[in-house]
Copies of this chain bind each other. A is one copy, B any other.
Amino acid sequence: MRENRLREVWREGRTAVNGWLQVPSSFSAEVMAHAGWDSLTIDMQHGPVDYGSLVPMLQAISTTDTVPVVRVLWNDPGLIMRVLDAGCYAVICPMINTREEAEAFVGACRYPPEGYRSFGPYRATLYGGQDYTDHANEAVVTMAMIETQQALDNLDQILAVEGLDAVFVGPSDLGQSLGHGPGTDRGEPEVVEAIERVLTAAREHGLVAGIFTGSPEYASRMAGKGFQFVTISSDVRLMASAAAGAMTAFESE
């Protein structure tokens, strides 16, 4: 089976730099896959990508060795199994607030007896190899988003769930939940403290910690603190800010 390079990066103690895809196009996905990210996350929660556009995007990413990741819409076992069948190697699940939710999520990502994933890796075997089924339980990465006060309250129980590989901090929702409004690259002490608490707890449980950031500078700072999976911006934000920059540069000449 094709190795999951995220696990390799983490074994080596490095930080995976993750890109983010919101544009439902296999063409822009392929362009991003050539940009050098360790992994690319296709966002099915906040963006127009649906299952019909997901599969060609995964195929486009598969023309390179960038690791394909999917953030699912919700903690929905049918959908989670289905993105795995399509050949993604890691799933990010939003809004994991309790141990039960974490267990349901992880179980959907693992074949029996570790979990209750249904069999039918219709494209995962094309991407991963004919022996995909034998190794999928070890290869596939599960990432639970920690983004509410409730999740913080249940942090240790969530992190203790067998088969959970990583947590991923959603700074906007976490900030909202803590009463500070949305936004990435947070500076409010309460939010910063919460983020660091997630990092510390994850490491104590032997899990990888990840975070969504809005700039390479902040991402780099987070990597320095110990986050081993950092997302920098997204396809559409990179495009929009580059467009704004071009306009400004044109006018200021």
Which residues of A are at the interface with B, using a C-beta cutoff of 8 A?
A: 17, 19, 22-28, 30-32, 34-37, 45-48, 50-53, 55-56, 59-60, 62-63, 73-74, 76-79, 81-82, 85-86, 94-95, 111-113, 116, 118-123, 126-127, 133, 147-148, 170, 172-173, 176-177, 179, 181-182, 215-217, 219-221, 223-224, 230, 232-233, 235-236, 238-251, 253
Taken together as a complex, chains A and B put the C-alpha atoms of A191 and B48 apart, in Å, by 40
Q: Specify which chain B residues have a CB less than 8 angstroms from the CB of A25 in the assembled complex.
A: 23-25, 28, 48
Do residues A30 and B59 form an inter-chain contact, with CB atoms below 8 A? yes
Taken together as a complex, chains A and B put the C-alpha atoms of A49 and B62 apart, in Å, by 20
Taken together as a complex, chains A and B put the C-alpha atoms of A78 and B120 apart, in Å, by 23
Do residues B253 and A123 form an inter-chain contact, with CB atoms below 8 A? no
Known A23-B25, A119-B173; contact A242-B244, beta-carbon cutoff 8 A = no
Given A50-B51, A120-B172, 6 new contacts (CB under 8 A): A26-B26, A45-B118, A112-B179, A220-B249, A220-B251, A230-B250
Do residues A79 and B85 form an inter-chain contact, with CB atoms below 8 A? no
